[in-house]
Copies of this chain bind each other. A is one copy, B any other.
């Protein structure tokens, strides 16, 4: 199991919140940590069901919602319907292609600085901020080539 530090930090959050550590949870968490593909529920199901039959869609839905509530993953609208999910310990920008739906993780060193300003802005509305998320839509490299303009 790779990325032990990320994994351990997440498990610590489970324990802190009295959430049981089941094999299903572990395998879903592990998959999310090690995927950079922004998988859908369907993707996760097919990937994990191979090795771990007896894993139901319902459990994946439950656990993705759980991980979302614990701020371990975030949810991104999928242009093709439903959502895609991303392990989000290190904040980054998501560039989403309007044409093919591809999501690119964009490195953004200024994120922390931005995050501070965003949080200050919402505090003026007496809103207590947690996770910020920046998305930008447009056209990816491949799709620009395919249909120029």
**Residues of chain A having any CB pair with chain B under 8 Å:** 69, 75, 77, 83, 93, 95, 97-98, 104, 106-108, 110, 114, 117-119, 121-122, 124-141, 144
Contacts and interface: CB of A to CB of B under 8 A. Distances in A.
A126 B141 contact: yes
A3 to B, nearest CB: 23
Among A126, A141, A144: residue with most chain B CB under 10 A: A126
Number of copies of this chain in the oligomer? Answer: 2
B138 A128 contact: yes
A89 to B, nearest CB: 15
Contact of A135 (B95, B133, B138, B141): B133
Residue among A95, A108, A124, A130 having the largest count of chain B Cβ atoms under 10 Å: A95
Given A104-B122, A106-B121, A134-B134, 15 more contacts: A98-B130, A104-B125, A108-B118, A118-B134, A118-B136, A125-B141, A126-B144, A127-B138, A127-B141, A128-B138, A129-B138, A130-B137, A132-B135, A133-B136, A134-B135
A131 to B, nearest CB: 5
